[in-house]
Structure formats: structure tokens, C-alpha cells
Amino acid sequence: MSLRGQTAVVTGAVMGIGRAMVEILLQNDAKVALLDVNKSGGESLTEALGKQYGSQNVLFLDCDVESEEQFKAAFKRAVDAFGQIDIVFNNAGILNEATWEKTVSINLLGVIRGTYLALEHMNKTHGGRGGVIINTGSMAGLGPFSCCPVYTATKHGVVSFTRAMASASTVSGYGVRFNAVCPGFVQTDLFSNIPIRLGQYSHMADATAQLVKKMGVITPSQVAEAVLEMVTDETKNGEALMVMPKGKEYITFPNLISPNK
């Protein structure tokens, strides 16, 4: 399905899952604003993508999702450049139990901030034209992961915030769909130097490595394909899509109001 005429904003766009999402969006004719703290990497990537897909279709914006000022300015520059925002992928995230406050700030507060700033431009009740927001959770957002309790908390927060926003949007008439992607282990930079990233839980690195062997590892492109499905399927709202080597699966959550159903 072509995304021609649509504009996307991707955070954490320079590497890993975010970069794969940028490329699949461009392959499907969307215009893409790449937001990342990696300025040199972002500028060189955007130059290369511009040569392949047209410089008018890509824009790099130096943006730290921890900064309201930078994030707000980046959204405005994207709208100024492309006219509107239809798709947002709040993807920027880190794994570091030693710097757990920063992990919360980026992984959870950054997603909330990106969601609220996106709604300022997309919300139909505020003159926007609707669209879809995809937030990056994790398998660690669906079950407790003992080697990284704070990371687990941030990802559970992302999944639940996304599902709550999906309901709020429906009730409020925002015209914006919200979905979470929950990958297993993905071969990216975040998935390297794991003992250091585990901080006080580094003694669990061996057990974690065993879990990796059991669960397998997927590619960033496999995640991007899953995200694209939730972008293009307009029936998807409030979903959490698990992506594993064995395939994709939409999660069914317990009905807390009528638990027996």
C-alpha cells in the first residue's frame, strides 16, 4: 500500500529499528522526518537517503526526546517542511539499568511527550487530520524481565499508555489510532554490551544469554514490517503486536471489567 502524500515522524531514526522504519516508509512513498540525538549520523544518513528517495522526501532534525523544547521545535519544523503529520513512530529508547532515571526519561517520558506533541498537530478536534501513532514497547512490556526491572517498567508503561490513549482517542474523537509494537530480541546496538547495560543486574547476563538462545533474534526490518502493518491497517487501534522469530501475534489482554469473558 502506497503512503504517497503522507508524512511520518520517526524518533531514534538513525540506527536499528528506527532506521529500518525510515527506510520502509520511504520505500512506500512517504515523506519522513528523522529525529535523533545522533547529529552526525543523522545528517550523513539523510544525505544518503535523499540521493536514493529524493531530498524533498527526507529531513533530519537534531532532537533529544527528553527535551520538550527540542521535540516541540522538531515537530514544528516537520510540519513547516511537509505540511502535515500523518504517522508518528515514537521509537527512541535505551537500555541501561545503571542510569535508570535516564532510561525512564527517554523510554517512557519521551514516548508520552512525543504522543502529546504529535496530537497538537494530528488531533481532529484541534484542526488536525488524524493519523496513527505507533509506540515501541517490547516483550519486556508484556512480562517482567528480571535482568532489567526499570526497562521493564518503562516498556509496560509504554504499552499501557498506548492502549489507554487508543481508548481516549476513540471516546474523544481525535481521529488518531494508537498501537504498540512489542519486539523480542532484535539485532541492534541496544542489543550489545548487555552486561554493562544491566548495571547492578549484570550477574544475570549469562541467564539472559540463555533466554536469547531460547527465544532467538530478529532483524530491525522484521520489526518495521510489523509496524507498517499497524500503520496501514485502519482497523488496528489499541493493539500490542508481538514480533518474534516464529512470527507476529496480536496480544489479547484480560477483560478486567468482565473477567470471565
Ligand X SMILES: NC(=O)c1ccc[n+]([C@@H]2O[C@H](COP(=O)([O-])OP(=O)(O)OC[C@H]3O[C@@H](n4cnc5c(N)ncnc54)[C@H](O)[C@@H]3O)[C@@H](O)[C@H]2O)c1
Ligand Y SMILES: CCCCC[C@H](O)/C=C/C=C\C=C\C=C\[C@@H](O)[C@@H](O)CCCC(=O)O
Active site residues: 151
By CB under 6 A, tell whether 231 contacts ligand Y: no
Q: Which of residues 167-186 bind ligand Y (CB under 6 A)?
A: 184-185
The site partner of 143 among ligand X, ligand Y, none (C-beta below 5 to 8 Å per kind) is ligand Y
By CB under 6 A, tell whether 25 contacts ligand X: no
The site partner of 146 among ligand X, ligand Y, none (C-beta below 5 to 8 Å per kind) is ligand Y
Binding mask 76-115 for ligand X (x = CB under 6 A): ---------------xxxx-----------xx--------
Binding mask 143-182 for ligand X (x = CB under 6 A): ----------------------------------------
Cell (9 digits) for 70: 527540542
Number of residues that bind ligand Y (CB under 6 A): 16
Distance, CA of 111 to CA of 70 (rounded, Å)? 14
Q: Is 60 exposed, middle or buried (0-12, 13-18, 19+ CB in 10 A)?
A: buried
Distance, CA of 68 to CA of 121 (rounded, Å)? 15
Q: Which of residues 116-145 bind ligand Y (CB under 6 A)?
A: 138-140, 143-145
Q: Evaluate whether 189 touches 12 at the Cβ level (below 8 Å).
A: no
Among 248, 198, 189, residue whose Cα is nearest residue 223: 248
Residues of 1-25 as b/e, b for ≥16 C-beta within 10 angstroms? eebeebbbbbbbbbbbbbbbbbbbb
Query: Do the strands 31-36 and 58-62 form a parallel or antiparallel pair, or are they unpaired?
Result: parallel
The site partner of 118 among ligand X, ligand Y, none (C-beta below 5 to 8 Å per kind) is none
Distance, CA of 50 to CA of 38 (rounded, Å)? 18
The site partner of 135 among ligand Y, ligand X, none (C-beta below 5 to 8 Å per kind) is none
* Strand spans (E) along the chain: 7-11, 31-36, 58-62, 87-90, 131-136, 176-183, 185-186, 217-218, 240-244, 247-250
- Give the single-character DSSP code of 41: H
Rank residues 119 and 218 by Cβ distance to ligand X and give the closer one.
218
**Region of residue 92 (left: phi > 0; alpha: psi -120 to 50; beta: else):** beta
The site partner of 91 among ligand X, ligand Y, none (C-beta below 5 to 8 Å per kind) is ligand X
Residues of 124-143 as b/e, b for ≥16 C-beta within 10 angstroms? beeebeebbbbbbbbbbbbe
Residue from 191, 212, 219, 233 that binds ligand X (CB under 6 A)? Answer: 191
Which residue's Cβ has the minimum distance to ligand Y?
143
Name the one range near ligand X by CB under 6 A: 1-9, 33-41, 51-59, 167-175: 33-41
Rank residues 176 and 186 by Cβ distance to ligand X and give the closer one.
186
Q: Applying CB under 6 A, which residues contact ligand Y?
A: 95, 138-140, 143-148, 184-185, 191, 194, 208, 211
Q: Applying CB under 6 A, which residues contact ligand X?
A: 11-12, 14-18, 36-38, 63-66, 91-94, 106-107, 136, 138, 183, 185-186, 188-191
